[in-house]
Amino acid sequence: MQKAFMLLGVAVVLFTACSSEKEKKTEEAKYPVTNPLVVDTVLTKEYVADIHSLQNVEIRARVKGFIETIYIDEGKTVKAGQVIFAIASNEYQQELTKAKALLKSAIAEAKQAELDVKNVQLMLDKNVVSKTELEMAQSKLEAANAKVEEAKSNEAEATLNLSYTQIKAPFDGIINRIPNKVGSLIDEGTLLTTISNNKEVYAYFNVSEREYLDFISNKENNHNNEVNLVLANNQLYPFKGQIETVEGEFDKATGNIAFRAKFENPNEILKHGSSGKILLKTELKNALIIPQKSTFEVQENTCVYTVDSNGKVKMNKIIPKYRINTIYVIESGITTNDKVLFEGIQLVSEGDQIVPQVTSPSEAYKAL
């Protein structure tokens, strides 16, 4: 019995010693804290972009007929004015020949009517005919001249229709899909192909109203509106672009507004309809930053632990404005005078007493 009491006493002493040691370690636990830092930094944001050629137009038939010749192939480069399609022209050649013949006939009739007027005028001067005869002759001359003008118009139309059988490239570019082949019967307005001028391209991307206002307010610091483009394979496009214009209204459905950037495309890597991501950099002056690892979420709120002069831990709700890699740019909630718990946020709770180990901002942020 005495031996049992002795063992129990030893156990109590050991438990008390361990508890005291644990409390001592807890009381002596040191946690690194640091101040928020004010810096000038650069914010890079990504936006999904749609790529459009500088010029991309449909080539459509202006007249009906059979495709007689296709002078180019899909994907080939053409020059402005180069003939790319020919439509069978026999019918339109005949129409032109007919129009020319009718014009000659109308001119002959007009000349005859003009002679008639002169003859009637001579007879009127000799009082052989009445003035009414002269007026009738002049009316016939006017009608004959009107027929000449109509015949000229028909000839011009026939000439134009004949020229439409030769379809030419409107500008230098690349020919795209050709849906109809040689021998196909096409109607007026049938799509023959499209042509793209890819020497330069437009990249359209949408930004929110807040981001638009931030861009406008920082316009002077945005490197002359320069942007970068990341291609679909995540490679950086080698040429920088310039933001040229912003649309005039916000999309009511999305609340976004469209920007347009222009990129050089000398190697024609970019094609009409391709996609990518625009990287828009904005300089931030006097930005208040803290490490992202110093923050935690509580009911959808972002919070940090601050430590007062007595080493007491307090939870503060903050509002991050931007996230840049491993740091947050803070809009409100803390100041540069606050001591923010830099590491160990999982080991403490609000109201805990700790020993703050102050780390200079330059030391705390250099590894981020």
**What residues does 291 pair with on adjacent strands?**
327
Q: Is the pLDDT of residue 15 over 60?
A: no
| pTM as predicted | 0.71
Whole-angstrom distance, CA of residue 311 vs CA of residue 299: 26
Phi-psi domain of 205 (left: phi exceeds 0; alpha: psi -120 through 50; beta: other): beta
Mean pLDDT of 100-108: 95
Whole-angstrom distance, CA of residue 279 vs CA of residue 277: 6
* pLDDT tens by residue, 307-358: 998 889 999 999 998 888 888 999 999 998 999 998 888 888 889 988 888 8
Indicate the range of 20-29, 61-70, 155-164, 168-177 predicted with least confidence: 20-29
Q: Which domains does the chain have, with CATH numbers?
A: 29-42+286-365 (2.40.420.20), 44-54+196-283 (2.40.30.170), 57-193 (2.40.50.100)
Residue type, 296: F
Identify the residue whose tokens are 């508890």.
Answer: 19
Question: Which pLDDT belongs to residue 43?
Answer: 83
Average pLDDT, the chain: 87
Q: Side by side, which strands form the sheet with 65-70?
A: 166-168, 83-87, 65-70, 185-186
Mean pLDDT of 83-103: 96
Nearest to 174, CA basis, from 200, 191, 197, 201: 197
- In this prediction, residue 276 has a pLDDT band, given cuts at 50, 70 and 90, of very high
Nearest to 281, CA basis, from 229, 334, 339: 229
